[in-house]
Amino acid sequence: MVRNPLTPEERLRGERLGELLREARGARSMVSVAASAGISAETLRKIETGRAPTPAFFTVAALAGALGMSMDELLTRCAALPERGELPLLA
């Protein structure tokens, strides 16, 4: 199966997701958050750095739960793409 290349918008959305998750993680270690979500630290690292811009739904849901975020909040914040470097504060 050949995967179609990601569009620039999909790549940007993946980078935004990574930024939001990294911001929500705060001072917590990558290892502890990944363990809470039931994923590997390497998977979380790839998502946070944008190297895995389209993670599986259940992976994102597990990370949101581990970080105390709702999927609605995550979706809303990922869909609203501000200028690079501008991140709205987490509630």
3-class SS letters over 33-88: HHHHHCCCHHHHHHHHHCCCCCCCHHHHHHHHHHCCCCHHHHHHHHHCCCCCCCCC
- 76 or 3, which is more confident: 76
Assess whether pLDDT exceeds 50 at residue 38. Answer: yes
- Under the phi-then-psi rule, with left for phi > 0, alpha for psi from -120 to 50, and beta for the rest, what region is 50? left
Residue 32: half-sphere exposure toward Cβ, Cα within 13 Å: 6
Q: With a cut of 50, say whether residue 89 has pLDDT above it.
A: no
Q: Which residue has the tokens 């939001």?
A: 20
For the cut 90, the answer to whether the pLDDT of residue 91 exceeds it is no
Percent of the chain with pLDDT over 90: 57
**Across the chain, which distance is largest between two alpha carbons, in Å?**
41
Asked if the model's pLDDT at residue 87 lies above 80, the reply is: no
pLDDT value, residue 90: 43
Give the whole-angstrom CA distance, residue 35 versus residue 68.
Answer: 14
Between 25 and 89, where is the model more confident?
25
Q: What percent of the chain has pLDDT over 70?
A: 87
Pseudo-torsion of CA 2, 16, 31, 62, nearest 10°? Answer: -70
